[in-house]
């Protein structure tokens, strides 16, 4: 099996596995929450996006990997997610940062996929070295949770969740 086919197979199976797991366990849990709690859970995952800086750490990836590949957009997304978590009590700022980290993060992943294809990364997956697991395991989860975050941003909140959120705010 060629490197390109193996990489693409891993990537597709990463998406399949993550679609099955959250569909069964995570989405029902997030749906039971009020909107703020669901977005906080998603922001917590994305707050670790600073880890994308590993792509510029000498010795971790091949020097053949184009400079700055998949780095600064992840860092910006992680910082925005952390800011969302820090401003949860200031709701207008919280929602601004939730929208910002999801927009920046989604665009970053799409641009990273485009760049990966442009530089021939699937055929040269060895360039990723120790970071190989990031696009195979972590990136599908990130993209799926961005989609979930957008869903929770536009979905009407149920009466039960509104009542629970109101009770929590009072206590």
Mean pLDDT of the chain: 87
Over residues 13-47, the pLDDT tens digits come to 999 998 888 778 888 888 888 999 999 999 999 99
37 CB contacts (<8 Å, ≥6 apart)?
165
pLDDT score for 9: 92
Residue percentage of the chain with pLDDT more than 70: 90
Rounded mean pLDDT of 72-93?
Answer: 96
- Say what the pTM is: 0.84
Q: Where are the domains of the chain?
A: 37-157
């Amino acid at each position: 099996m060629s490197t390109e086919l193996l990489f693409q197979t891993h990537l597709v199976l990463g998406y399949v596995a993550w679609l099955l797991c959250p569909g069964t366990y995570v989405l029902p849990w997030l749906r039971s929450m009020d909107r703020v709690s669901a977005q906080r859970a998603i922001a917590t995952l994305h707050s670790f996006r600073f880890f994308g800086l590993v792509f510029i750490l000498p010795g971790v990836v091949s020097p053949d990997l184009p400079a700055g590949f998949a780095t600064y957009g992840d860092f910006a997304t992680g910082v925005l997610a952390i800011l969302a978590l820090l401003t949860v009590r200031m709701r207008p700022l919280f929602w601004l940062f939730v929208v910002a980290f999801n927009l920046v993060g989604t665009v970053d992943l799409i641009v990273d996929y485009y760049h990966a294809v442009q530089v021939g990364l699937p055929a040269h997956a060895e360039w990723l070295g120790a970071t190989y697991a990031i696009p195979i395991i972590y990136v599908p989860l990130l993209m799926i949770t961005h989609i979930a975050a957008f869903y929770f941003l536009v979905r009407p909140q149920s009466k039960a969740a509104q009542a629970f959120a109101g009770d929590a705010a009072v206590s």
